[in-house]
Amino acid sequence: MPATREGRLRGLRELARLYGVQTAYYDVERQRRRATPEVLMVVLQALGAPLASAADVPAALRARRREPWQRMVEPVTVVWQGGETAVELRRAAGGAGAPVDARLTLESDTVREWRWAADALVAVDTADVDGQRYVVQRGALPADLPLGYHRLALESAGERAESLLLHAPRRAYAPRGEAGARAWGVFLPVYAMRSARNWGCGDLADLEALMGWTAGLGGAMVATLPLLAAFLGEDPFEPSPYAPVSRLFWNELFADLEHAPGLAQCPAALALLHAPELQARQAELREAPLVDYQAVAALRRPVLAALAERFFACGGGARPEYQAFLAAQPQVEDYARFRATTERFGAPWPTWPERPRQGELTEGDYDPAAARYHLYAQWLTEQQLAALAERARGGRGRLYLDLPLGVHADGYDVWRERGTFALGIAGGAPPDPFFMGGQNWGFPPLHPEAMRERGYRYFRACVQHHLAHAGVLRVDHVMGLHRLYWIPRGVDARDGVYVRYHADELYAVLCLESHRHEAMIVGEDLGTVPRSVRAAMARHGLRRMYVGQFELRPRADEPLAPMVPGAAASLNTHDMYPFAAFWRGLDVPDRQRLGVLEPGMAQAEQQSREAVRAALLAHLHGSGEVAVGEDQDAEAHAVLAALLRRLSARNAGIVLVNLEDLWLETEPQNVPGTWRERPNWRRKAQYRLDQIMRLPRVSDELRQVNQLRRGET
């Protein structure tokens, strides 16, 4: 390789490091995989590097080295509560003696102004960059700085700079007392809930019924999958709750239409509800084993549309609670127009004509009635979810919601906030024992620098939207606060690269919002996670996850691995096979048949499973908790009960029980890596909610969990 080419390659890798791109990673076989120059070029271009070809690398390197030194202050400054209240400045040495005028606009709009004289700034470092000497100085901030998001504007010798000053608690909120330390709850996806009254898909009335019953048994929470907006009647339809249209708005499919305000005064909606054809179709969808989202949405749409028309025709838009909703959700009208435009064009936004594609919508682009429908649908769903969460809090209960990592590439958030996303890139994961070819999740990742330049506006809004109602928030793929695996379009998932994020700034947002809403934060830290991530979680009070099926080991003396105090513990997750399938070893050959597990890995997994099973049975036979010679179901029930007892008696902060485990369900809700092969995100629970509540085995197991969490024997 010619020296100039080798030098450019070294320069390209150095440029990547300066942009926070890891140029290599170790794969599942501990082999070092180095990113190709082509991949590095595409990722750097997506990050904003001034590169058209490899010849531009030297100039881009010089520019990137100078960039942080040519701004007086970083776009975001984190100040931790109880720590040093100071801001770091970078200035050319020649002008470092000039005074600095500061203007701090607090979140409350209160303004504070002061001047740092030369002797008030403490020099802490120097650096030489391209022949220019720079000085790093530290200036003290007001000691009584309130928690919140503040704007700091600086001016010195004609140079101006601004920074979002984020003053946050160092640790996320944690409830005080025994209830906060030893809570328990149940898990069931809302869509999977069956009842004698729903439309073939669970809704908020079903969720409230489950929450009330759980609270009656002593449980503090109900956990479910994301409840976010989805494409329902329009293409591209996507059933996964982890690919929402938006992380800022709810899915109206979960609204309870029978308790919509004004229903009794809406003849059109009542006529539709009482029509024999609708009731027959409703019963048919209700009895189906799988949720038919599009059919349910199509059946509900005319009723919801009739309610929307009456609401606005009768002055509902002027109601104080509706005006308060608009004030709290400033983007909702824009969202409604986007959804109506998507329906009008019948195609995703990247294929729209130039003007609407670029974000400018006029009334001719959409049906105003469709926009009113989406506005009303969001208002109704928000009102019902808020009321449900309030009633839960009144009974000392909590909603346990899930914040997905990504959002649909054709959805509202990417269309409106496209500068915050890295378009042409997909988030994913490198190969691991479960997915030897790696994973491409399809959604565009957030751009680390664009997020900062916008003051984390979008990320803050997503977190606030969920914490307005959640007492516990699970952050999907918490490693994404630190780094995310980027895969350029057309590139194999094995050939992506990791891109770093400003983790401290993201933790600061989470910790601040957690305290403001008095909500616990759980980080999904499963799989191969660097130690630094878990150290940061511990430092900032994010609860780790402890999943029993992952933590079993072939040791008869103690088959469950130790638990980190305060963790959110469960036997499995929505991406895993239920306990009965795990215990009987049904999942391994199934994953092999589906092609997501290679034969060699499958054989090793089977052998490992047998060893774990033998050790656990030996342990439970010895303790008398499982009798030798029990039939398959009796044994599985006994082992399940024993494991739940152990999780409940340990020092977990939260114990979640998957309700489906309690009747030995074997079918998973989702098999990652499959799409057409399995009905992911569609399978309903085997029993209706009222039947679940009458199953003695279910109630008995949950009462046992409650006693152990309360410290009773």
Per-residue pLDDT tens over the stretch 139-156: 999 989 999 999 999 999
670: enclosing H helix or E strand = none
pLDDT grade for 1, boundaries at 50, 70 and 90:
very low
pLDDT digits (tens, 9 = 90+) for 539-568: 999 999 999 999 999 999 999 999 999 999
d(CA 505, CA 501): 9
Q: Which letter does DSSP use for residue 542 in this model?
A: P
Name the CATH topology of 82-168: Immunoglobulin-like (2.60.40)
CA 199 to chain centre: 27
Helix (H) or strand (E) holding 492: none
Both structure tokens of 87: 């801001």
**Structure tokens of 416?**
């409106």
Residue 179 in this model has a pLDDT that exceeds 70: no
Cβ proximity of 434 and 672 under 8 Å: yes
CA atoms of 371 and 365, how far apart (whole Å): 11
Burial string for 521-537 (b: 16+ CB within 10 Å, else e) reads bbbbbbeebeeebbebb
The two structure tokens encoding residue 616? 């656990």
* Predicted local distance difference test score (pLDDT) of residue 673: 83
pLDDT at 271 over 70: yes
Please check the confidence at residue 438 and state whether its pLDDT lies above 90.
no
Buried b vs exposed e over 459-485: b needs ≥16 C-beta within 10 Å? bbbbbebbbbbbbbbbbebbbbbbbbb
Three-class secondary structure of residue 487 per DSSP: strand
Contact in structure between 654 and 568 (CB atoms under 8 Å): yes
Helix and strand numbers, DSSP H then E, in the chain: 24, 22
What is the layout of strands, in order, in the sheet containing 111-116? 76-80, 159-168, 148-156, 100-105, 111-116
Alpha-carbon distance of 654 to 646, in angstroms, equals 13
**464 near 513, Cβ under 8 Å?**
yes
Instruction: Pick 431 or 533 by higher pLDDT.
Output: 533
Long-range contact set of residues 596-602: C-beta below 8 Å, sequence gap at least 24: 596/434, 596/435, 596/671, 596/672, 596/673, 596/674, 597/434, 597/436, 598/436, 601/433, 601/436
Average pLDDT rounded to a whole number, residues 114-120: 95
Q: Give the tens place of pLDDT for each residue, 203-261.
A: 999 999 999 999 999 999 999 999 999 999 877 788 999 999 999 999 999 999 999 99
pLDDT band at residue 177 under the 50/70/90 scheme: low
CA torsion sign, 29 to 33 to 39 to 45? Answer: positive
CB 412 within 8 A of CB 339: yes
pLDDT reported for residue 395? 81
* Average of per-residue pLDDT across 270-290: 98
Q: Which helix (H) or strand (E) holds 317?
A: none
d(C-alpha 303, C-alpha 635), whole Å: 49
List alpha helices for 27-172, DSSP H: 37-46, 57-66
φ, ψ at 696 (rounded to 5°): -55, -40
**pLDDT at residue 695 tops 80:** yes
pLDDT at 713: 64
Query: Comparing 435 with 194, which gets the higher pLDDT?
Result: 194
DSSP E strands, 275-414: 398-403
Note the helical H segments in 470-568.
Answer: 503-517, 531-540, 548-551
Helix, strand or coil, per DSSP, at residue 250: strand
Per cent of the chain over pLDDT 70 is: 98
- Write down the pLDDT at residue 5: 73
Taking only the tens place, the pLDDT of each residue in 597-655 is 888 888 999 999 999 999 999 999 999 999 988 899 999 999 999 999 999 999 999 99
320-333: per-residue pLDDT in tens?
999 999 999 999 99
Q: What is the mean pLDDT of residues 390-407?
A: 93
Percent of the chain surpassing pLDDT 90:
89
CA nearest neighbour of 487 among 431, 534, 434: 431
Tokens linked to 404: 């997905």
CB 70 within 8 A of CB 130: no
For residue 617, which amino acid is it? L
- pLDDT band of 89, cuts 50, 70, 90: very high
Helices (H), 423-495: 448-453, 457-467
Query: Is 519 strand, coil or helix?
Result: coil
Handedness of CA 586, 587, 588, 593 (dihedral sign): positive
- Domains in the chain: boundaries: 3-67, 82-168, 543-661+682-713
Q: Which of 386, 654, 389, 404 is nearest to 520 (CA)?
A: 654
Which of 51, 63, 48 minimizes the C-alpha distance to 12?
51
Query: Between residues 397 and 51, which one has the greater pLDDT?
Result: 51
**Average model confidence (pLDDT) across the chain:** 95
Give the residue from 657, 572, 566 showing the smallest Cα distance to 172. Answer: 566
Q: Amino acid letter at 506? A: L
- Asked if pLDDT for residue 33 goes beyond 80, the answer is yes
Q: Supply the pLDDT for residue 457.
A: 97
Q: Which residues make Cβ contacts (< 8 Å) with residue 216, sequence separation at least 6?
A: none
pLDDT over threshold 90, residue 435: no
Count other C-beta atoms under 10 Å from residue 698's C-beta: 20
DSSP secondary-structure letter at 688?
B
Whether this prediction's pTM lies above 0.85 is answered by: yes
Dihedral pair phi/psi, residue 256, rounded to 5°: -90, 100
Identify whether the C-beta of residue 398 lies closer than 8 Å to the C-beta of residue 470.
Answer: yes
3-state secondary structure of 162: strand
N-term to C-term CA, the chain? 72
pLDDT over 80 (residue 44): yes
How high is the pLDDT of residue 597? 82
Closest CA to 554 of 603, 604, 618: 618
Contact 664, 636 (CB under 8 A): yes
Q: Is the dihedral of CA 255, 259, 265, 267 positive or negative?
A: positive
Nearest in space to 254 (alpha carbons), one of 214, 322, 207: 207
- What residues does 499 pair with on adjacent strands? 21, 484
Pairwise CA distance, residues 296 & 200, whole Å: 7
Is 178's pLDDT higher than 50?
A: no
